[in-house]
Amino acid sequence: MSDSDSIVAETAARIFADLADPQTVNAAKDQAWKAPLWSALEENGLTLAWVPDDLGGTGASLADGFEVISVAGRFAAPVPVMETLLAGWLLTQGRIASPAGMMTLAPMRPKDRITLGGDGMLTGRARGIPFAGDAAHVAVLAHGPKGAVVALAETKSARIAETRGIAGNTVFELTFDKAKPLQVADAPAGFSQETLMLMGATVRSLASAGALAAILDISVRYAGERVAFEKTISKFQAVQHNLARLAGESAAASAVATSAADAISSAVTLAAPGIYLEAASARIRTAEAATEGSAIAHQVHGAIGYTKEHILHRYTQRLLTWRDDFGNESQWAVDLGTKVAAAGADELWPLVASR
């Protein structure tokens, strides 16, 4: 980690610790904590870290933004910092300035499609969009008459349907029915919906790795405090075995997610060789770790981890929710296998060995 990365990570961690401690947020009776948290994140330039200065952002590196994502995962981010970062990055592809405030983006699933007609209107549906009820603007990647386009639209220009997510949060389905965007620009050559899915998958992989690290700390601490049969449960071999498995899942998720983020940060383009392998592998492995790690953490905690009063569910529910964003592990596994098979057996080893 460079000095710049360290400063960004420390700033993000301090803000979340001071204004969004999971236990404080979990016990809150209203949403009063949200405004000070978002203001602090904005004032420190963390929400638009991937947006150049001349487009309204802070012009930080991809690596800096990925550090913010990792920290957001460790605190089970209760505000759309990840979504706003990604939305700003997407708008930057079309050289569109980012507005102030919370943003979300669409689409977030590989098979959802939004089109820009010859009349300049957006049409299509995007499912599973988080924070659309809070965000005034949505960054859209659409299919235009001549290729991919980037658009900035008001969220209210879409028809919004609310559904309940696994984490108890509200997720949204946005339907654009000849909605007029505020701005539209051509995406760079070669930029496609797959490119957006690659970046989004890496972001969710990093967040998942951060959340897994947090639930490992929570579980180890709980095991060292909970007493059964006159000794802490951390002394029982079965619990030790479970904690070791959880540590392994956390370490594996961190390794693959960090590798994908490093590869993207150092690449000239997301179409560079090996980027797809890195992002897909991270998505598949962190989703598996989220499933396994959540189950282990709840085994260690017993019934208390499921209660509203305990913070564990804030992490595990979000881990399970994040698995579906930007394509689930099954979709990525099938697509990766298809690409490897199409390239031929002779290309597999050089690709793997080069990473």
What is the full DSSP assignment across 156-187?
Answer: GGSEEEEEE-TTS-EEEEEEEEEEPPSEEEEP
154 shares its domain with 280: no
How many Å apart are CA 136 and CA 196, to the nearest integer? 21
Last residue in a domain, options 78, 111, 131: 78
Last residue in a domain, options 155, 190, 225: 190
- Residue 202: per-residue pLDDT: 97
In a domain, 151, yes or no: yes
Mean pLDDT over 64-70 rounds to: 95
Above 90 in pLDDT, residue 269? no
> β-strands 122-130, 114-116: how paired?
antiparallel
Mean pLDDT of the chain: 92
179 shares its domain with 279: no
- Residue 188: per-residue pLDDT: 95
How many Å apart are CA 112 and CA 330, to the nearest integer? 16
Above 70 in pLDDT, residue 3? no
In a domain, 85, yes or no: no
In a domain, 87, yes or no: no
56 or 89, which is more confident: 89
Burial label for 342, CB within 10 Å (0-12, 13-18, 19+), is exposed
How many Å apart are CA 105 and CA 305, to the nearest integer? 32
| Whether 81 contacts 72, CB under 8 Å | yes
201 shares its domain with 339: yes
Above 70 in pLDDT, residue 262? yes
116 shares its domain with 174: yes
Residues 4-24 pLDDT 10s: 557 888 999 999 999 988 888
In a domain, 95, yes or no: no
Residues 184-201 pLDDT 10s: 999 999 999 999 999 999
Cα dihedral: 174, 177, 178, 184 (round 10): 10
Confidence band for 307, pLDDT divided at 50, 70 and 90: confident
- Residue 5: per-residue pLDDT: 55
HSE-CB for 287 with a 13 A CA cutoff: 23
207 shares its domain with 328: yes
Above 90 in pLDDT, residue 303? no
Last residue in a domain, options 48, 78, 108: 78
Report the share of the chain in percent with pLDDT over 90.
Answer: 75
Mean pLDDT over 153-182 rounds to: 88
| Whether 90 contacts 196, CB under 8 Å | yes
Other beta carbons within 10 angstroms of residue 42's beta carbon come to 16
**Domain limits at 138?**
100-190
14 shares its domain with 104: no
In a domain, 210, yes or no: yes
Above 60 in pLDDT, residue 233? yes
Residues 203-212 pLDDT 10s: 999 999 999 9
Cα separations (Å) of 11 from 42, 100, 195, 203?
A: 12, 20, 29, 19
Mean pLDDT over 96-120 rounds to: 96
201 shares its domain with 340: yes
Contacts of 115 (CB under 8 A, 6+ apart): 122, 123, 124, 142, 143, 144
134 or 170, which is more confident: 134
Number of domains composing the chain: 3
- Residue 347: per-residue pLDDT: 78
- Residue 63: per-residue pLDDT: 94
In this structure, which amino acid lies at residue 342?
A: A
- Residue 165: per-residue pLDDT: 67
204 shares its domain with 345: yes
Residues 29-54 pLDDT 10s: 888 889 999 999 999 999 999 999 99
147 shares its domain with 247: no
CA distance between the termini of the chain? 19
136 shares its domain with 56: no
In this structure, which amino acid lies at residue 248?
A: G
Mean pLDDT over 139-161 rounds to: 96
pTM of the model: 0.93
In a domain, 84, yes or no: no
Above 60 in pLDDT, residue 102? yes
> β-strands 147-154, 183-186: how paired?
antiparallel
CATH number at residue 182: 2.40.110.10
